[in-house]
Chains A and B, each alone.
Chain A
Amino acid sequence: MPNGYVLFEGDYAMKTTAVNITEKEYLLPGNRTCPGCALSLAYRYILKALEGQVIVTVPASCLTVLHGMYPVTSVTVPCVNTPFATTAASATGLVAGLKALGKEGLTVLAVAGDGGTHDIGIQALSAAAERQTDFLYICYDNEGYMNTGNQRSGSTPLGAISGTTPIVGKQQNQKDIAAIMEAHGIPYVATANASYPLDLYEKVRKAKMIRGTRFIHVFVPCSPGWGFPFSETIKIGRLAVETGWVILYEVEDGVFRLTSASESIAEKSNLKPLREYLVEQGRFKNITEEQIGILQRWVNARWKRCLDRAGDSQS
């Protein structure tokens, strides 16, 4: 086996593989996303997992761009666009409308970016979760307002250059949206990453079967926004996991479990230094040593919490 092949071991450890996963596509070629778009990749597997039996609601975001321009769409599932702050409220309306009409068997899927989730959409999302609305909310996180040209969001990391932190970089770190959603006591919270599409696929499949509010955070590296070549989307996403910037886990009815690559990193105790992830991206070109230190400590503390929780779940 060639050397590089072990990289993908995680994918093959699961029962779904590139060979047996459904071939049916719900995302059509010739869409409007940038080359190498991780959102496009993630969305491919989200829709595969839901087998098209879905109504999607989407706020202003890169996903709106992907869906296309009237009168043509690049996606073969029904979708409503909704104003920026209203994703979860719109989903609530879809759920209520379907229920009122006695229509069953469809998943109501809300997909919003980090701006639409961490920032402008958090009020509606929090309320929908509190109401135990029966829907799946997926936040795809490219750590900024990429659709409007890369302005800082509540998810942009400390030290990152953005359109609105153009010279010294962002002075605050991101908020942990998955932890915020977990605090709502919802039945399913998971984190995923476009670079691990089969892990994402499995999580969406699982979420589909659960009733109540389900939340999945999907990390999607953004080539033009973060400053790395199109071809390295997968590599950057993997580095994020390998350095602990992103931790792949799921919390099902309060039970925490590391998944995929994060699970094997925990087993092997081989977390890489965060610096390896940061140096690959133009947005961190002005980051200071002090900031790298702050971020590394933040990563270490969160990684330890996750290891502790994973240990608690097992014991």
Chain B
Amino acid sequence: MNKKIARKADTWILDGNRAAAQGAKLSRVQVIAAYPITPQSPVTERLSEFVEKRELDAQYIAVESEHSALAVCTSASMVGARTFTATSSHGLAYMHEMLHWAAGARLPVVLACVNRAIGAPWNVLNDQQDSVSQRDTGWIQVYARNNQEILDSIIQAYRIAESIYVPVMVCYDGYVLSHTEMPVDVPSQEAVDRFLPRYKPHTILDPANPKNYNLVTLANPRINAEGVLCHGYMELRYLLQEALQNSRETIVKVGQEFGELFGRSYASMFWEDRLDDADVVIVAMGSLAMEAIVAADMLREGGHKVGVLGLRVFRPFPKAELARALEKSRLVVIFDKNISYGLEGATCSEIKSALYGSPARAVIRDFIVGLGGRDVKAREMADAVKRSLLSVNEGDLNREYAEWICAI
């Protein structure tokens, strides 16, 4: 492989939505089905423009709902087409049934989720309640911190999805990224073609070899006409779980290969910033992880040894890796742009579960922030960390619920 050619890229000024559309275009998607919703709409507009201009040889289906968008993608994927859709918030919620279906049928659909708050009441601004609410649908979830990561993650998403037959959701923050322009290296089509082979479906839809998919499946295994014992419903579910468990290896390998070709490595499930000497670690997901770096700078100026862990992959959840990374920390401060009502932020719960039984003994604090587009300032994050340190030093170790940074 000629790495020089692969690394030749143009730097464009792109907002997150355009970066996502470019990522899909470079991945040579063949069927696109999408329904407009703020703040995702520009993604679908760009893609339909690519198709109408014949810059992209794809079928663009302007469906009447997100539920149909994903149904178009699942069936097109079964035929053997590479499929793409994008949505936000209520659109993702409306897809919920089809999210389960896509993963259950092991179809490598890639979906861009432009993270937006969910009603009632109406709110079009950013938080991550929409995608976090879909964590149990069997999709891989990747969160981008900036527009470069959006583009890169979509290209990688197809490699990952199509090698293990699990759908991938690439999430990025509405407005914060979707409508904010920043420099993005756009790789050449030739380089992407080398990285991303053609999609080979595991399904066969051919009258000469007529298979039926997703029929009613019994609880127990059943013998086929040739006498082979086939799965029951539970075995099929186990295989999906197994695929997600094993996908960590694929995600890291694909991220590493991407780095070798394009000069930007994604060989980890999370981003680390100054963790080596940190006794306090801030954890955040998506663009908030960038803000956390600014907060860490402020705290470091005040003499605190603070690092940042930016969660990149939320499903599969990198339990073991995370426990190792947080092993030396005294305090872990998590900022969640979501809330699992009645408990706490979802990433907080996941991290607690990851640390259980590990040598890590950090005190954990969770802050719910930024819901419905509420601005999250680095100063507020730094203050929250300082408050947490103070209370921990006073012996306040466990808090039953998350703290909210809001005006109540």
Contact = CB atoms under 8 A, between A and B. Distances in A.
A64 B72 contact: no
Nearest to A91: B75
A93 B217 contact: no
A103 to B, nearest CB: 8
A33 interface: no
B81 A83 contact: no
Contacts of B230: 70-71
Contact of B81 (A90, A91, A97): A97
Nearest to A64: B216
Contact of A126 (B64, B69, B210, B215): B64
B256 interface: no
A268 B70 CA distance: 51
Contact of A83 (B30, B78, B97, B212): B97
A75 B205 contact: no
> Which of B69, B215, B217, B230 has the largest number of chain A CB atoms within 10 A?
B215
B222 A69 contact: yes
B interface SS class: mixed
B204 A96 contact: no
B224 interface: yes
Instruction: Give the interface size class of chain A.
Output: 35 or more
A85 B67 contact: yes
B406 interface: no
A213 B200 CA distance: 29
> Which of A81, A93, A101 has the largest number of chain B CB atoms within 10 A?
A93
A90 B63 contact: no
Nearest to B226: A71
B61 interface: yes
A97 B76 contact: yes
Contact of B205 (A55, A73, A96, A100): A55
Contacts of A75: 210, 212
Given A77-B207, A89-B67, A106-B207, A71 B224 contact: yes
B1 interface: no
A75 B213 CA distance: 12
A124 B68 contact: yes
A100 B224 CA distance: 33
Contacts of A68: 212, 215-216
Nearest to B57: A100
Contacts of A54: 207
A93 B210 contact: no
Interface string B218-250: 100010110010110000000000000000000
A75 B207 CA distance: 11
B71 interface: yes
Contact of B71 (A79, A90, A97): A90
B71 A76 contact: no
Interface string A62-88: 001101111111011111111101101
A94 B61 contact: no
Given A54-B207, A101-B80, A124-B65, A93 B72 contact: yes
A57 B216 contact: no
Interface of B: 30-31, 33, 58-59, 61-65, 67-69, 71-81, 83, 97-98, 101, 204-207, 209-218, 222, 224-225, 228, 230-231
29 contacts: A55-B207, A57-B75, A67-B212, A68-B216, A71-B222, A71-B230, A71-B231, A72-B225, A78-B204, A80-B78, A80-B212, A80-B214, A81-B214, A82-B101, A82-B214, A85-B71, A90-B74, A91-B75, A92-B33, A92-B75, A93-B74, A93-B78, A96-B33, A96-B61, A99-B59, A123-B64, A124-B64, A127-B63, A127-B68
Which 3 interchain pairs have the tightest Cβ spacing?
A93-B75, A97-B79, A127-B64
Interface of A: 52-55, 57, 64-65, 67-73, 75-83, 85-86, 88-94, 96-101, 103, 106, 123-124, 126-127, 130-131
